[in-house]
Homo-oligomer: A and B are copies of this chain.
Amino acid sequence: MDDLSGPAGPLYQQVYDAVMARIVSGELAPGMMLPSEFDLAAQYAVSQGTARKALSKLELSGLVERHQGKGTFVATTTDETSLFHFFRLRQSDGAQVIPQLVSETVRKRPANAREAAALGLAARASVFEVMRVRSINDAVVCAEQSVLDVVKFPGLKDRGGLPNALYPLYQRSYGITIARADEQLRAVMVPEAVGGMLALADNTPVMEVERRAIGISGGVMEFRLSYYLTQNLHYAVSLR
């Protein structure tokens, strides 16, 4: 029977925190089944209802999935959910479109000031830069530059072809789960370097998206700068 040392609010919150810690630490890895409500209750010396409340809260935060009759499982970010959730480009009719990879380059280089600040690294620390160009219906529609701390993602450069969705890879191969992403959007003239890659005229307006992908423990795990062509597509948001 485990102990809930430290008076930290209600019991269910303490259980929530304890299980959360076990998920963050990797002891409970994505896809694994959690102890049942009764087991958890026994472990922390609380009632099943209290354990249940903690699990419900974890489900609400998106960290676990529950299925009646089966059990509770640590959430896994699948390619589908990851793409649907974090890739916001949609067709005019609102339909989801799956972008195809056109080109990809990975290199190691020092971070610039903005990237180092975003990732919480020292100036000019080593980072991996993943540069990708994507197309939809054979039309090139976006260029993405992802920047990652080499310490957190060792050997990324030598993996060869990366999957369409990067976040499931982060989770599977590096134990890093992306919980949310904050984005800053601007309408700008396409920068020269990007215009070359996408074969655009100089005066094309594009959407610039600056993303900070944040892990479950709260730190910025990836800094991404993207350029979207929004002639036939749009970026969809739902405010609620």
Contact = CB atoms under 8 A, between A and B. Distances in A.
Q: Within the oligomer, what is the number of copies of this chain?
A: 2
A125 interface: no
Nearest to A212: B238
Chain A: number of interface residues, binned into ranges:
20 to 34
Contact of A230 (B90, B180, B185, B228): B185
A187 B230 contact: yes
A75 to B, nearest CB: 12
A238 B181 CA distance: 6
A188 to B, nearest CB: 6
A190 B107 CA distance: 37
Contact of A187 (B85, B187, B236, B239): B187
A52 B184 CA distance: 39
B181 A239 contact: yes
A169 interface: no
Interface stretch (A10-18, A155-163, A202-210): A202-210
Interface of A: 62, 85-86, 88, 90, 179-189, 203, 205-207, 210, 228, 230, 234-240
